[in-house]
Amino acid sequence: MMAGEYEQFLIHESRLLDERRFRDWMALFTEDGSYWVPATVGQRTPFGQTSLFYDDLELMRTRIDRLEHPLIHVQTPPSNTVHLVGSVTVEPGTPAAEPDIGLPASDVLVLSSAITAEFRLDQQRTFVGRQRHWLRRVDGALRIVRKRVDLVNCEAAFEAIAVPV
Q: Across residues 53-78, what is the average pLDDT?
A: 86
Beta strands 123-138; 141-151: pairing state: antiparallel
Evaluate whether residue 160 is within a structural domain: no
162 against 1, higher pLDDT: 162
Query: Is the model's pLDDT at 83 over the cut of 70?
Result: yes
Instruction: Output 134 or 73, whichever has higher pLDDT.
Output: 134
The domain in which residue 33 lies consists of 3-98+107-151
* Band of residue 1 on the pLDDT scale cut at 50, 70, 90: very low
Q: Nearest 5°: phi and psi at 66? A: -65, -45
- Which pLDDT does position 102 carry in this prediction? 60
Asked whether residue 81 is domain-assigned, the answer is: yes
Number of domains present in the structure of the chain: 1
Instruction: Give mean pLDDT, residues 101-126.
Output: 87
Q: What percent of the chain has pLDDT over 90?
A: 67
Q: What are phi and psi of 128, to 5 degrees?
A: -125, 135
d(CA 29, CA 36): 13
Task: Determine, yes or no, domain membership for 161.
Answer: no
CATH number, domain at 137?
3.10.450.50
Do residues 108 and 94 touch, judged by C-beta distance below 8 A? yes
In a domain, 78, yes or no: yes
Structure confidence at residue 78 as a pLDDT band (50, 70, 90): confident
Give the three-class secondary structure for 125: strand
Q: Would residue 156 count as lying in a domain?
A: no
**164 in a structural domain:** no
Residue 14 resides in a domain? yes
- Residue at 158 is within a domain: no
- The answer to whether residue 97 scores a pLDDT higher than 70 is no
pLDDT score, position 76: 76
pLDDT of 57 strictly over 90: yes
Per-residue confidence (pLDDT) for residue 6, from 0 to 100: 95
